[in-house]
A and B are shown apart, each in its own frame.
Chain A
Amino acid sequence: MNSTSTSPIVRAIDVCKRFGDFDALKSVNLEVDAGEVVCIIGPSGSGKSTLLRCINQLEQIDGGAIWVNAELIGYRREGTKLYHLTDAEIARQRQCVGMVFQRFNLFPHFTALANVTEGPVQVLGEPLKQAQARGRALLAQVGLADKENAYPSELSGGQQQRVAIARGLAMRPEIMLFDEPTSALDPELVGDVLSVMKDLATSGMTMVVVTHELGFAREVADRIVFMDQGEIIEVGLARDLLSSPRQKRTQDFILAVRA
């Protein structure tokens, strides 16, 4: 699963996703190159979180195909047939994709450090000592060096989300997905999380961020994707799309959020 410089980290082709009668994604196409930061914006119910969850196989797509790191996800291709991957194979594919959730989803029965080392030790089979050393470095990187022994319930929302980012990074992912990472935070805690994400973007991490923080998107994103009603309406460079959107729906959304 070597990534070559020519192929994007994520390539989604004609992705469809239905929940019952509801079309959550209608033939979505998206490419994310290595080192690129893509922000997905759009009204609630527009399918942006669903798209993110499909990239990590938390949702199974109903049509189209997704490649992550040049590897077709969810299926094994043999000739003209596609075979479903097993649970273990899907788990292995997820290893190179880090995910940060809106509601943090830290493991409440583990300390901050144990949350970070759980993946490397249990999934990658790293020795505990080595994983802990790296875990401490990652906690320091997100500004929580002094919180390694704290349980999630003893941390603020912003601190929990930063531990969650460290937990994702511990798996040495090729790409990090952020699903509205600051939406569940008190306003004064948003800044800390965004600044950690900004540093991460500067360090060259490939990131896809579903967000309502247009300021963050303008500053950090290379490209911005605007989605509405399960479709990608407009894709553009961060500055262009926010300051001079071409589509009416994009204009309306940006005005509504700014208001």
Chain B
Amino acid sequence: MPPSNTDLTGVSVISAPQSALPADAYKIAHYTIVPPRHYGRILATVLILAVLAALIRAFAVGDIEWRYVGLFLTAPAIMTGLANTILLAICAMLLGAVLGVIFAVMRLSKNPVLSTVAKLYVWLFRGAPALLQLLIWFNLALIFPRIAFPGLFDLRTVDVMTPFVAGLLGLGIQQGAYTSEVVRAGLLSVDRGQYEAAQAIGMTRLRMLRRIVMPQAMRVIVPPVGNEFIGMVKLTSLASVIQYSEMLHAAQTIYYANSRVLELLIVASIWYLVIVSVLSFGQSFVERYFGRGVAAVRHGL
């Protein structure tokens, strides 16, 4: 039992002390404090361990040749797929971030044309499924057979629109629509007084955004964007349908040949988990950097 106000005498200390009580009844500073027992935690641990054991057993006795998982984990085709997944995720996210910032600033602009265009962009590219957008970019040649700028270049669309380029545009542009909303939330989170203080020392709007507003908005922007980056890593698997040889595509190509379906899916899952773990780790550093000067609640809300 934790020490409480009524432990010693049954009389609440808050009420006026009774004169009859001996003086040493209040000298309890040297008593041992017994911490509370967390029975809930113990019970939860036992239950979860039991479920985990059952799962592990199911995978161990199931029809999975674990040998193959080890064998293919570092196979050259899987490694190429891994590299392509990372490449596409980073490029598409960069494109999304750039578009996100541009359209968020446009959306908050005083210029009604810019802000309407930004609204339309978000509406359109957030509205259509990512898979569908990938397919449209990949088949762009059906609408625009050639991409040309008079005097500079003239190319066949099928040559330009490789699976990588289609994947980059499809995923990056729809990501930009989501990211612009995150960036807008970040910009709105910065106190009005910060805008005014920046203006008062003679900053132009662009410099104010770059030096004062964006660095503070980043504190709000980073956690959801980290979340979206992780989503993007997994979203790249959609590019397998347009023949981009990312990781899922590589795993599929192998299991079509050797029929070790589950083994190769496990291989792919392991690598996705590795990438996501590295990203989560990196995110905490970025958050710390942008959180400087701010005493934030991190744990134990």
- A and B: partners? yes
Report whether B207 and A105 are in contact in the complex, using a CB–CB cutoff of 8 Å: no
A105 with B293, Cβ < 8 A, contacts A99-B200, A171-B201 known? no
Residues of the A chain whose Cβ atoms lie less than 8 Å from the Cβ of B294: 108-109, 153
Given A99-B197, A109-B216, A123-B207, 11 more pairs with CB closer than 8 A: A58-B200, A105-B193, A108-B216, A109-B292, A109-B293, A111-B293, A118-B201, A119-B203, A153-B293, A164-B197, A168-B201
Q: Does residue B295 face the partner (Cβ distance < 8 Å to A)?
A: yes
Q: Does residue B196 face the partner (Cβ distance < 8 Å to A)?
A: yes
Q: Does residue A203 face the partner (Cβ distance < 8 Å to B)?
A: no
Of A103, A108, A123, A152, the residue contacting B201 (CB under 8 A) is A123
Residues of the A chain whose Cβ atoms lie less than 8 Å from the Cβ of B193: 101, 103, 105
Q: Does residue B212 face the partner (Cβ distance < 8 Å to A)?
A: yes
Of B191, B196, B203, B211, the residue contacting A91 (CB under 8 A) is B203
Interface size on B, residues (CB 8 A): 23
Q: Which residues of A approach B to under 8 Å, CB–CB?
A: 56-58, 87-88, 91-92, 94-95, 97-99, 101, 103, 105-111, 118-119, 122-124, 151-153, 164, 167-168, 171
Q: Does residue B204 face the partner (Cβ distance < 8 Å to A)?
A: yes
Report whether A108 and B202 are in contact in the complex, using a CB–CB cutoff of 8 Å: no
Q: Which residues of B approach A to under 8 Å, CB–CB?
A: 191, 193-194, 196-205, 207, 211-212, 215-216, 290, 292-295
Distance of B291 from chain A, by nearest CB (Å): 9
Distance of B281 from chain A, by nearest CB (Å): 23
Residues of the A chain whose Cβ atoms lie less than 8 Å from the Cβ of B194: 105, 107
Bound-state Cα–Cα, A107 to B215, Å: 10
- Return 22 A-B CB contacts under 8 Å, by A number: A56-B200, A58-B200, A87-B204, A87-B205, A88-B204, A94-B201, A94-B202, A99-B197, A105-B193, A105-B196, A106-B197, A107-B194, A108-B216, A109-B215, A109-B216, A118-B201, A119-B203, A122-B203, A123-B201, A123-B207, A153-B293, A167-B201
Report whether B293 and A171 are in contact in the complex, using a CB–CB cutoff of 8 Å: no
Closest to B202 in A: A95
Distance of A175 from chain B, by nearest CB (Å): 12
